[in-house]
Chain A
Amino acid sequence: MRDRTLINLIVFGAILLLVLNLPLPVAGRLKALTRDTLAPLQKAVSGFSRQARESLKLLRGVGGLIEENRKQAEEVARLRIRVGDLQALEAENLQLRELLRFRQKEARALMACEVVGRDVSGWWSMLRLDKGARDGLQPDLAVITAEGLIGRITNVSARTSDVLLISDPNCRISAFVERSGAFGIVSGCGPAAQGLPVCRMEFIDKSRKNPVAEGDEVVTSGLGGVFSQGLPIGKLEHVHTNASGLYLEADVVLRADLGALDNVFIVADRVQPPPRSPEDEGP
């Protein structure tokens, strides 16, 4: 009995050591294979839980539906007027650009994705999306919602991709304050308790003529080559000088709600057409 226990421990210890020392590409392939195998199941379960949540919300909010409908109709009317104004401005802008012979900016291409899961371990602020390399996705693409930037793609398997959220301390973004033009670095503060910041902007130049202030909008700077310029991130709060006294620091209140993400968009400017191989053209 004692011998059997010892043999078990030695065998499993050896297997564990083997797994821990797997070369990175092999471990990566194994992970991708597991993700792809479980992706349909994960999508089905997350779809079911979303349906259940929405049904519950519907049941709870039956009384407020008329009021909500009225508000939505108002919002639609307001947005239609705004779109009309913007179309006129766009036409004028195009005309002026043509006169000045500026290169035309293309509208951002977006790819809609469904959130099918989150980081299982809880050590990272991550999301898993239902699209992957088969759809042309690759690491370092920006992920946004209608409100603003939420993160970037880090890992891609054939059917899924992982998004590192901007609230994660490992996510650092070059950004600038729209009003003053001051540059800085936005980094995550980890999962925040109520009242604590989710992100912080550091290394903001304090010697500018037009200093940054609370409420200023922060957008991506386009430097660093990962995010395109002008993706909205959030607003500044609690602007203060950092410990060294050389730069300003501020909390960033994100525009997007990272806790309630069901559908997101990938800024697909750099999306490659999915590779075609004979194996892909299966039944």
Chain B
Amino acid sequence: MTQLVLIFALLTGVVLQAVLPPTWAWLGAAPAPILLGIVLYVALAHSQLRMLGCALAAGLLQDALGQIPLGYSSFGFCLAGLAAHRFQDEVFEHAGVTHAVFGAAAGGLVTLSLYGLLGKDGSIGLSPVWAVKKIAGAALLGALVTPVECWLLARLELRLGSRPQEER
């Protein structure tokens, strides 16, 4: 995966995430975790160095376009990316089920970590019930969005002639 493709994916991801309308209230109005999906794809298909760079950049972009203090999302993305990368050799990294499971787990984990960090700061006024809904919503959306994103990114890489397996 060239740096240029990664930058393109991150910019498209953050703009889409900002433009898409909020999801339903029963999902805690959690946004579709598009940036997280990109981080997971890189974590499962590429080197650790690239994954950390991608997680840091994706988090900074998400925080810059929102109200979250700079670095909070990067922390959550790095945690999720490291956890996914840890299992890179033990799973079928190009299987849809793998992406759905990792998407759900990472969506929940990142939302939980953000709730903890923002709650500690006192910057959000949402009740724990909403947080539970949001975590469940993020997990569900992660399970739905991540496989699609991974498929698209894998196709893009294939078209561009880059082979992720060779990078390891």
Residues in A lying within 8 Å of B, measured CB to CB: 4-5, 8-9, 12, 15-16, 19-20, 22, 27, 30-31, 34-35, 38, 41-42, 45-46, 49, 116-126, 128, 154-155, 162, 168-170, 190-194, 196, 259
Contact = CB atoms under 8 A, between A and B. Distances in A.
Among A16, A45, A116, A170, find the residue whose CB has the most chain B CB atoms closer than 10 A.
A16
A121 B114 contact: yes
9 contacts: A27-B70, A35-B65, A117-B15, A118-B22, A120-B18, A123-B114, A124-B67, A162-B67, A259-B21
Interface string B1-41: 00000000001001111111111111011110000000000
B146 interface: no
B69 interface: yes
B106 interface: no
B71 interface: yes
A129 to B, nearest CB: 12
B137 to A, nearest CB: 9
Given A123-B114, A124-B67, A190-B130, A16 B16 contact: no
Nearest to A18: B71
A128 to B, nearest CB: 7
Interface in B25-65: 25-26, 28-31, 48-49, 52-53, 56, 60-65
Interface stretch (B72-80, B91-99, B147-155, B156-164): B72-80
Contact of A191 (B25, B65, B68): B25
A2 to B, nearest CB: 11
Q: Interface of chain A, helix or strand or loop or mixed? A: mixed
A122 B19 contact: no
A190 B60 contact: no
Nearest to A123: B124
B28 A8 contact: no
Contacts of B83: none
A117 B64 CA distance: 13
Nearest to B25: A193
B74 A38 contact: no
Contacts of B28: 122, 191
Contacts of A116: 18-19
Given A12-B56, A16-B71, A22-B70, A120 B22 contact: no
Contact of A42 (B18, B21, B62, B127): B18
A31 B71 contact: no
Given A30-B70, A34-B65, A124-B66, 9 more contacts: A12-B56, A27-B69, A38-B11, A46-B19, A122-B22, A122-B134, A191-B28, A192-B25, A196-B25
Contacts of A30: 64, 70
A117 B48 CA distance: 32
A67 B16 CA distance: 36
B71 A19 contact: yes
B118 interface: yes
B124 A118 contact: no
Contacts of A9: 52
Contacts of B70: 19-20, 22, 27, 30-31
B19 A117 contact: yes
A34 B61 contact: yes
Contact of B62 (A121, A191, A194, A196): A121
B127 to A, nearest CB: 8
Contacts of A4: 49
